[in-house]
């Protein structure tokens, strides 16, 4: 898989799914449209300013709340290519990986400043901070999840698997 490189968007603990995907963003709306409301209650400028390749950085319990997978899907559609956090809420964690978006547990996210340029290697579990010259380490993903991410997500992974079984 490609190694994403982009600017860091740094937030705190308990970024919940009602902020990542407010109900108005998904009830009668496709995610391509709804993603414009991602994080609106917390940072109304986020959705408009984020760029392809950017990295989302959060503290503890990233993605707490609902199982609505528009939460990570919105991040992905806006261009976010990796999510780093001290810890994740479990459903959000799985949803994010299922979309082929690396969700990496990184104890040292406090060392990342907003706007830092990061290069995230999910396979190696490293985050190179090009702005500070530091390299941070993440918990490596289990093999079965790395395989799924390399395929592009759960659906792509299943498609390949089902084809092999034919």
Partner 1 sequence: MTQLMTTRSMTLAEKIIARAAGLDAVTPGEIVTCAVDLAMMHDSSGPRRAGKMLDELGVPIWDKDKLVVITDHYTNEPDPGSIAIQEHARQWVEEKKLPHFIAEEGICHVVLPEFGHLKPGMFCVGADSHSTTGGAFGAFMIGVGATEMAGVLATGEIWVRVPETLRLEVSGTLGDGVAAKDIILKLCGDIGIMGANYMVVEYAGEAVRAMNVDERMTLTNMAAELGAKTGIIAPDSTTAEWLAATGAPGTANVDTGAWQGDADASVARVIDMDAGLLAPQVAAPSNPENAADVSEHAGTAIGQAYIGACTGAKLEDLRMAARIVGGRKTAAGTRFFVAPASNRILGAAAADGTLKTLEDAGAVILPTGCGGCIGLGPARLDEDMTGISSTNRNFVGRAGPVSSRLYLASAYSVAAAAVTGEITDPRELL
Which residues is 117 bridged to in the sheet? Answer: 7
- Closest by alpha carbon to 58, among 16, 118, 100, 2? 16
The residue within the footprint of partner 1, chosen from 69, 116, 121, 128 (CB under 8 A), is: 69
158 interacts with partner 1 by CB under 8 A: yes
Does position 135 interact with partner 1 (CB under 8 A)? The reply is no
Apex CA 81: angle with CA 69 and CA 71, to 5°? 20
Backbone angle region of 103, left / alpha / beta, with phi > 0 → left and psi within -120 to 50 → alpha: beta
Q: 10 Å Cβ neighbour count for 160?
A: 14
Does 25 contact partner 1 by CB under 8 A?
no
Residue with tokens 């919940």: 16
Nearer to partner 1 by Cβ, of 15 and 50: the residue is 15
Q: Does 164 bind partner 1 (CB under 8 A)?
A: no
Residues 6+ apart with CB under 8 A from 115: 7, 8, 131
**Closer Cβ to partner 1, 49 or 158, answer by number:** 158
Q: Near partner 1 by CB under 8 A, which window of 50-58, 82-90, 106-114, 121-129? A: 82-90
Instruction: Rule CB under 8 A: say whether 144 interacts with partner 1.
Output: yes
Q: Is 153 in the site for partner 1 (CB under 8 A)?
A: yes
Least spacing, CB of residue 90 vs partner 1, in Å: 6
Whether the CB-CB separation of 120 and 104 falls below 8 Å is answered with yes
Q: Does 98 bind partner 1 (CB under 8 A)?
A: yes
CA 61 to chain centre: 13
Does 74 contact partner 1 by CB under 8 A? no
Paired tokens of 115: 């706007």
Contact flag: residue 19 with partner 1 (CB under 8 A): yes
Binding site for partner 1 (CB under 8 A): 14, 16, 18-19, 22-23, 27-28, 41-42, 60-61, 64-69, 87, 89-91, 94-95, 98-99, 142, 144, 153-155, 158-159, 162
């Amino acid at each position: 898989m490609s190694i994403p490189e982009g600017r860091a968007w740094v937030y705190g603990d308990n970024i919940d799914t009602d902020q990542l995907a407010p109900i108005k963003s998904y009830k009668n709306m496709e995610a391509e449209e709804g993603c414009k409301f991602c994080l609106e209650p917390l940072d109304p400028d986020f959705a408009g300013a984020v760029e392809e390749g950017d990295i989302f950085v959060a503290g503890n319990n990233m993605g707490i709340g609902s199982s609505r997978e528009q939460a990570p899907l919105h991040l992905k559609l806006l261009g976010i290519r990796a999510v780093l956090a001290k810890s994740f809420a479990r459903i959000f964690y799985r949803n994010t990986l299922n979309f082929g978006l690396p969700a990496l547990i990184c104890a040292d996210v406090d060392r990342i400043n907003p706007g830092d340029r990061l290069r995230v290697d999910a396979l190696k579990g490293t985050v190179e901070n090009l702005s500070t010259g530091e390299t941070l380490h993440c918990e490596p993903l289990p093999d079965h999840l790395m395989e799924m991410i390399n395929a592009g997500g759960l659906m792509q992974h299943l498609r390949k698997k089902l084809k092999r079984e034919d």
